[in-house]
Every structure is written in structure tokens, then in C-alpha cells.
Structure 1
Amino acid sequence: MLAGVVVVGFGAAGACAAIEAAEAGADVLVLDRFDGGGATALSGGVVYAGGGTAQQAKAGITDTPDAMYDYLAHEVGDAVTAQTLLAFCDDSADMLAWLEDKGVPFAASVCPYKTSYPTDRHYLYYSGSETLYDKPAPRGHRTAGRGTSGKLLFQRLERAAVDRGVRIMRQTTAQRLVTDPNGRVTGVVCRQLTGFPARLHKFLGKLAAKPGLYVPALRRRLHRSIRRIENRHGTEITVSARDGVILCAGGFVANPVMMREHAPAYRRGLPLGTLGDDGSGIRLGSEIGAATAKLDHVSAWRFVTPPSALMEGRLINERGEEICDLHRYGAAVGHAMITEHGGKGWLLVDGPTLAEAKRQIPGQTTWFQRLQTHYLFGRARTTAPTLAELSRRTGVTIGDFAGTAPFSLIDVSIKRSIGYPCPMLTLGGLVVDEGSGEVLTADGHAVAGLYAAGRNAVGICSNSYVSGLSLADCVYSGRRAGRHVAAARRSRGAQR
């Protein structure tokens, strides 16, 4: 089978890469192990954007690319160069407009309180730690749809890709890259399912995504069945790529071997992604000499809000020492707990704070956040009339704390708990040229014909994650790779 551009993986990064390449005139073929969507479709559909988006302007929010850069520089660090971050911020408003042009809806209703994820009344919110820095602005642009709206985001991108002539091969697993004698990537060897095995594979894949996401034992059993189907019924085919291959197959949070090797401290988190987030895209590049970086960087979220009243509490370790400012984003809280406190922590609140938090539950929470409050205010909470008695009952040292009795200590430690999971995703990947998305070797040379984007690659969010930054990077890096592989195609054509 022959194509111009082959995209491996069909989440946000793969869809955006395919759309850009197709709009530039390339013949684009997408390969996906399952039925498309990846972690994007499971996500909240939040895109981090600012610098004066149409939604910010409509809401009366003042923001500039410089203000966005000044904040993100604290989060991004050395994950990308200052020039790349500046370009990302300068292009941010146009990027969101590009998504709207592809049918992705956004809205300007601002959430007035601190939350991990807004309800269906609000679609623009402070999705990171912006309020702790100068010139804060809400930049979390949630796709305007009911519930967790990542599925809607992907559906619109998928439709845009199909409308532009992109071909999609589903239930097709990329196994290895094909190179010519000069080392240029010229294709992909795959295993493809057809007929009833493909339909069964699709069904099991959906179950593994949800509810399997929340029930790890079920997901493991489903994965074994899925692998058997692939091994017994898959047909090996080679897809040739005249212009290049773009790897967009996600991270490796669903690969326990890679997690143990690169991020062993994160063993208690809830892997946020599909079974396709198994590191296969990273492996494909590594096998032909591509460099990797930031593989030990994982985002693990420990949110205590909503309800927003809980931010009046104090997060402490077993010695009574404060762990982290609760105004920080949940991934910063999770990082501090895991790397400095063994994943343990307790939220100390007084009686009026707890009462106000309970009053806020109906108006500030979605269904899954209500499950969280049910756990936190139930089995995870210990209450006592004095701080001394609370310390005696829990074994946690409690120092000075100004408040009104009764006092409560809520166990927010990171455990394997359905009632209060700690979602996590991997942030590192293949090293790429920041101007083109071309995959690089350890000595800095480009692997001809190979590109990477999204969580297959080191990118904007590979040091520190705030809500929406991964999807924004998927859009940014996916479009970049799609444009440059098409431009390289035109350049070779002109030379001939």
C-alpha cells in the first residue's frame, strides 16, 4: 500500500498533522491501533490558549502573548527553547481560531471559582497556577459540550480530516519502521485486522477505554484478549510513505514495564489514556536511533477542589509540615506529594470551612467530582473537637492552626482508589527539531522522513503540565509536523 504521508496514531496530534498535510496537498493515510480518539477522546477537552483569544475578549478578559509567556516560562522551563515558547504564545489565539474553523466549539463563560474542571455552565477557567503570578488570566478553554468534552473535540477534528480526503486504517498496529539504504524512513510495517476480528477488537477496545480506565483489573483482562486477537488474526502489511512518517501514538502510561523503568515512583496513579498509550511510537523511533528525553517526567494530579472552600485548608505531611500551596495546580501538588512525601498527605480544615464546602457541592461539582467529595468527606475524614485529639486519633502531628472547632483531617494520600484516583500521564518522548518536528538522533541529526508530535515527542508540557497544555501542544506540534512534511515534499518535487 502506498501513501504520501503516513500518520501513526489518531488522537489530537495525529488528526491535526493529517489535516495540515492534506490541506497542503499531500496524500495522507492514518494508522490507528483502535478506532481513533486516543487519550484525547477520554480527556476533558481543555485546550490551553491565551494572548487575547476571541473567548477571552468576549468575556472581558485582558491577556497578551507576553503575559501568557511570562507565566508559562515558570511551568515549561527547559522543555523547549524560549523562542519556541514565544512562538507558541504568539500563535495561541490563532490556533484556537483554527480549531474553531475545523468545527471545534468554545465558549466565553468564565468559571468564578477555583476548580479542577468546570461544570457545564462554564467553559473558560484558570486551569493552572496563574493566580500566583503577575497578570493572571483564565486560559483553560474547554470544548463547549456536555460532560467531559474531549470526545467532541476529537469528533470534530476527525470529521475535518475525513472531509479533506484523509484515509484512515483502523484496527491497524504499527510494528516497525522501514528505512532505505541511506537511513531515510520510507514506510511502516503493520498488522491489520479485518472482518469479525476487527469488529470484536473495536468493541473490546471501547470497553478497555471506558469503563476499563477506572477498573484496572478489567482493563488488564481486556488487554490480554485484545493482544490474542491481534496476534492470531492480524495480517502483516507494509505501508510505503513517499513523503514521510509522523509518529503521534501517545505516551507510555499504559506500559507498566516502561513506567517501572522510567518513573517507578508513580506506580499508584491511575493511567490516563488508552491501551494505545503503550510507548510503541517512542519505541518505533528509538529502534532506528532516535533520541529520547524527559521519560521520567510524569504528571500526576492530586486535586482537592472543588469545592473551592477547601482551599482555605492546609495540606500537611505526617509531621505537620505544609506540603504545597493549595492555589497551585493539582499536578504541582501531586508532584510534591510523590517526590518529597512518599505520596502521603492530609488536608486540615476547621468546622466552618467543611460546612461551606458541603454547601458548595451541588453548584460546583460534576458527577465524578461528587464521587470524590463523597470519599473525602466520608471514609477519608477524621473529625475531633480539638487539634490534640485529632492528632491522637490519626497519628499525624498537627501544629498551630487558626480555626473553629470541630477540626477535620482528610486523608488525601495517593492510593489505588476508585473513589479518589490520582490520574497521571507521561510527558517525555522522542527528541524533535523544534522548528519542524523532525525526529533527532542523540548527536542532533535529523532522521530523514520521520517526524513526531504530541506525547510521542518532547514538547511544551514535557516539564510541567497544567490542564489543557498537553492538548494545546498536540495541536501545535501536530500542525507543525504536518506542515513541514508537506513542505519537504514540495521542495523535493521542485528539485526534481
Structure 2
Amino acid sequence: MSGGEAAADVLVVGLGCAGASAALEAARAGASVVALDRAAPGGSSAVSGGELYLGGGTALQRACGFEDDPDQMYAYLHEALGPHPDAEKLRLYCDGSVEHYDWFCSLGIAFEPSLYEGVSWMPPTSDGLMWLGENAWPFTRIARPAPRGHRPATDGFGGWVLMDRLIEAVRDAGVDIRPDTRVTDLLRDDEGRVSGVRARCFGEDITYRARRGVVLATGGFADDAAMVADHAPVLIGHAVVSDGLDDGSGIRLGVAAGGSVRRMGATQIALSVVPALACRGVLVDGLGQRFINEDVYPGRFSQAAVRDRPGPWFTIVDETAWEDVPERERWGVQPAVVAETLAEVEAELGLPPGSLEDTVARYNRDAAAGEDTRFHKDPRWLRPLTSPYAAVDARRGFDPDGSGPRSGTGVSGFTLGGLRTSVDGEVLDGSGRPVPGLYAAGRVTSGIHGEGYVSGTSLGDGTFFGRRAGRAAAEQRRVP
């Protein structure tokens, strides 16, 4: 189509995981659906790791020998995603997690019935299940540990698998997909109901009317420097994890239509530290001090480092720890310093004299006794560090393809705050009332997260509440 006007029951803006899930469920509910995307379908979801945070007793968990239930899952996530997660959304998400897993399986997404036992941002295997911090302190005191990272059956990054199957299902359901179409405005009728969108496609203006509802699923705002500076300054100067199009446009559209925002300062932060090395050694800040148990979910030690501790940040290991990690699981990092003494390491890194010696001496005493008295790292990772020592500088980043050291801060992230929505995806105004005809899901919204993050909760949240938003929009009274 070039120019003119078209209509559908439901319009979905953005076709990543949230938009695809909304479009699919709306179509299955009997609505006619047009899905608009400014680029090609997939978005940031397609270039993601592909983990889905699911639990409560999925078939995959049972196949790997783990018992779980929604209450244990909720207890872990409430703490890990806090402070202040959205308790109502989180409760629904945990209670519906087994059904949600089954829904993914019904799309033809396969999960290998095996567990990756290591600690990693992204396992280099096709194992279907992985730990995401559930077996580390303090969470072992809060909930019964069970691995809940569900991974599509492929080595490494699997977001493309997820999106391939989702988009295939969307097409099969009869959704009219319009790529290369940028929505510029939301339209409202005389009663204030969102009734459609105005868009641009190859230089032509197009008006799309929505007889039942519009669903925004355009992603976050990490690629918009001005919005980051205003709302999430912790990400200023750092790399962005996205497809390059998380520019906050959907949030601005929703606010212009009367919607409100929530948790705009919430972010995911990833520090370029190899978890398998960190848990076998010590992670220190720019003062040579430990600050957390290194076996936690790596996003947790990243948040603690970047938000609360002076940089730069270093992983200190010895030769045994280094050799204990298979080369392919080191993510291409190389030591910035190798030395016989910790005093030499301090001098090379510019750390305060004696700081690293004191830190490692205390760690070694605890390791010899089998108890990390400061931060409670699991005893299985405790072992005194001995000469020679190596220090890995997080600022150098990862180098998995061997192309050379990366420049930058060694920090990357994305935003988690956005439009305030109900559990059914209704965009809410400043008084908590729904904006008629307008729905949203995914990172364009403030979902289940508080100030914390765990891998797989973005894809999980986006698809789960995208489904609910699509069904809710399809069930609205049809406006001629």
C-alpha cells in the first residue's frame, strides 16, 4: 500500500516479542489484525540471548529433575527484581508460567531436556535449562533453589529462534504485517478513544483505523540519549543492548494520548565480567575491595558495581582458576596484568597500596575455612588464591570473535521503565484510569520489574503480557 487509509479491529505497533504475542492472540481471538513495524519483524528480541524466565514446575524443569511451584518462583523474583517490583503483575506471571511455557512449546519452540551446570551470561551449549542466580545467597534463604532459565534449542544466542517461530505463527494466524512503516501519531475520536494511527511508509502518509484497539510494543528508550539523560542517567556513556531502534517513540506516543509512566529510572546493567572466572576468584572495585558474592546472577553484581561502587572493576584470579574455565567460556577476555605478587598487580592497576593484598588475604582465610564470612559465596567456589595472579579489566569488554580489545566502559544496558499499564495491558493515565482504546506491552511499559533484573524476564514479561494485551484489545466493543 502507498498512501490512503486502511482499517482493522486491532493495530499492533512494533513486532518484537511483545507485539508478535499480542498480534497472535488478538487474531486467535477472532479479530482482524494489522501489525506495523518501522523496520523488519523481530526487533531487539531477535538479537537477544533468547532466555525465557519460566518456572513453577514446567515440563522442562521436571525432565531435568527439579521440583518447583509458583510460590517459590514468586519469592525469588520478588526479591531479585526488587526493591518494589509490580507485585500484581508478578503474581500473575508466576501463576501462569507453566501455561506460558506450554504455549511456547505449542509454537514449535524446542527446549533440550538438559541443565547447564555452570555460571554464565550465555552458555555456549544447547542445554535447555540454566541457573540464573536462584542457587546463590541470599536467595537460597528465601526460596527453594530451582533453575528457571529456559533456552531455545540452539548454541549461544537464541532470540532469533524465538522470533522466527513467533512471526511464523503470526503469519499463519492471518495477521497483516506491514514492515518499514513508522507510526508518527495516535488518532483519537471525539470521545477521546484512541481510534487509529498515522504512519509513514516510503515517504507516503497512511492512516490506519482501529475498530477495537491499538497495542504499542515499540521497545524501551535506551537509544534515545535525551531520554536516558532525563530518566536513566546511570546509562549515560555506556553501550546499549538493543537493535538500535529503542528510541522511546512508543512511550512518547502513549504519553501524548494521555498515558502516564512508571519506573523510568529502572535499568538492566551488564558489566563485561566473565561469571565463570569471577566466581572462582574475587571481583573488586577501583579501591581493590570486594563488594558482593561473585556467584550471584551476573546482572546483580553488575548493578552493584556500576550503581554503588567506584570503578574500574577487575576480576582477580590465579592460574588454577584461569585454567579451570574452558577457553570458549572465557568470552575472549585476556588478563590486563599477570604478576607473581599482589603488590605488583596493585601497582599495575593503580589500586591503593595494600588494598588487594588485604582483600585476598581475608578471602583466602575464609576459603581455607570453607566459609565466606563477608558475602556468603557458596563453598563450592571457595579456594585460596595463590601466585601467580591475573587481573581482567572489565573496561576491555568481551572479545568472543578474537578481533581485538573493545574500547569503552565495559558496561552496557537497557531501560525497563515505561508506560504504566494494567495487568491486561491497558495504558493508564495519571489517575490510574485506562486511556480508552490504548494498550501496551513489553519494554515500552513498566512491567514486572522494580529496580532489579534477571535474564529472561524481559522476553517472559513481554510475551506474557503481550498475549494479555492482544486478547483484551480484541475483546473490546467494535467501533464502526
Residue in 2 that maps onto 1:212? none
Q: Give the drift of 1:313.
A: 1.1
Q: C-alpha distance in 2, partners of 1:101/1:21? A: 17
Deviation at 1:79, TM superposition (A): 5.1
Alignment partner of 1:361 is 2:343: no
Corresponding residue SS for 1:448: strand
Instruction: Output aligned runs, 1:21-420, within 5 Å.
Output: 21-77=26-82, 80-132=85-137, 133-134=139-140, 135-193=144-202, 234-306=203-275, 308-357=276-325, 360-362=326-328, 365=329, 370-371=331-332, 373=333, 376-377=334-335, 381-396=336-351, 397-398=355-356, 399-401=358-360, 402=364, 403-413=385-395, 418=406
Q: Which amino acid aligns with 1:409?
A: A
AA at the equivalent of 1:189: R
Residues 453 and 101 (structure 1 numbering): CA distance in 2 closer, same or farther, change over 3 Å? same
Please identify, of 91-100 and 69-78, the stretch whose mean Cα deviation from structure 2 is larger: 69-78
Corresponding position of 1:213: none
Counterparts of 1:477 and 1:343 in 2: how far apart (Å)?
Answer: 37
Q: 2: distance between equivalents of 1:315 and 1:80?
A: 27
- Separation of aligned partners in 2, 1:111 and 1:439: 39
Change (3 A) 1:245 1:126: same
Moved more, 268-277 or 235-244: 268-277
Q: Contact 2:192/2:436 (CA < 8 Å) preserved in 1? A: yes
Deviation at 1:343, TM superposition (A): 4.3
Partners of 2:115 and 2:444 lie apart in 1 by 32
2:467 equivalent to 1:479: yes
| Aligned residue type for 2:390 | S
Closer/same/farther in 2, CA of residues 354 and 81 from structure 1, 3 Å limit: closer
Counterpart-to-counterpart distance in 1, 2:305 and 2:154: 33
Q: RMSD value over aligned CA atoms? A: 2.1
Partner AA of 2:256 in structure 1: E
Letter in 2 for 1:150: G
Alignment deviations for residues 189-226 of structure 1 (CA, whole Å, 9 cap, x no partner): 00012xxxxxxxxxxxxxxxxxxxxxxxxxxxxxxxxx
- Match in the other structure for 1:469: 457
User: Does the CA-based 8 Å contact 1:310-1:353 persist in structure 2?
Assistant: no
Q: Does 1:433 align with 2:422?
A: yes
**Deviation of the 1:48 alpha carbon:** 0.5
Which residue of the partner structure matches residue 209 of structure 1? none
Moved more, 402-411 or 474-483: 402-411
Deviation per CA, 1:211-262: give whole Å up to 9, x if none.
xxxxxxxxxxxxxxxxxxxxxxx11111000000000000111112211222
Asked if the contact 1:53–1:96 (Cα under 8 Å) also holds between the matched residues in 2, the reply is yes
Does the Cα contact within 8 Å between 2:395 and 2:411 map onto a contact in 1?
Answer: no
The offset of 1:127, in angstroms, is 2.4
Secondary structure at 1:322 match in 2: coil
Distance of aligned partners of 1:446 and 1:79 in 2 relative to their CA distance in 1, 3 Å threshold = farther
1:70-110 Cα shifts (integer Å, max 9, x gaps): 10110233655433322211110110110111222222210
Pick from 17, 23, 33: which aligns with 1:12? 17
CA distance in 2, matches of 1:87, 1:124: 22
Contact 1:428 1:458 in 2 (8 A): yes
For residues 86 and 264 of structure 1, do their structure 2 counterparts lie closer, same or farther at Cα, with a shift above 3 Å needed?
closer
Distance 1:84 1:190 in 2: 32
SS in 2 for 1:20: helix
Distance 1:116 1:408 in 2: 21
Cα distance, 1:31 vs. partner? 0.4
SS in 2 for 1:84: helix
How far 1:415 sits from its partner (Å)? 7.2
Deviation per residue, 1:161-181 (Å, 9 max, x gap): 111111111100000100012
Asked if the contact 2:286/2:310 (under 8 Å) is kept, the reply is no
Q: Distance in 1 between matches of 2:154 and 2:349?
A: 42
**Aligned-partner Cα distance in 2 for 1:190–1:280:** 13
Q: CA deviation at 1:272?
A: 1.2
Instruction: Give the distance between the partners of 1:418 and 1:98, measured in 2 at CA.
Output: 39
Contact 1:312 1:349 in 2 (8 A): yes
Conserved in 1, the CA contact under 8 Å of 2:82 and 2:450? no
The amino acid across from 2:284 in the alignment is: I
Deviations 1:29-77 (A, max 9, x none): 0000001100110011111100111111111111111111110110233
CA distance in 2, matches of 1:172, 1:137: 43
**3-state SS, counterpart of residue 44 of structure 1:** coil
Alpha carbons of structure 1 residues 81 and 261: separation in structure 2 relative to 1, 3 Å: closer
Which protein has the bigger helix share?
1
8 A Cα contact 2:19 2:217, kept in partner: yes
Measured against aligned partners, the alpha-carbon deviations of 1:362-396 in whole angstroms (never above 9, x if no partner) come to 4xx3xxx533x2xx33xxx2122222222223221
Q: In structure 2, do the counterparts of structure 1 residues 249 and 79 end up closer, same or farther at CA, with 3 Å as the change threshold? A: farther
Aligned to 2:373: none
Unpaired runs of 5+ in structure 1?
194-233
* Runs (4+) off by over 6 Å: 414-417
Distance in 1 between residues matched to 2:296 and 2:210, nearest whole Å: 45
Distance (Å, rounded) in 1 between the aligned partners of 2:228 and 2:342: 40
Partner amino acid, structure 2, of 1:447: V
2:369 matched to which residue of 1?
Answer: none
SS in 2 for 1:488: coil
CA distance in 2, matches of 1:455, 1:128: 22
Q: What is the distance in 2 between the residues matched to 1:343 and 1:33?
A: 38
SS at match of 1:88: helix
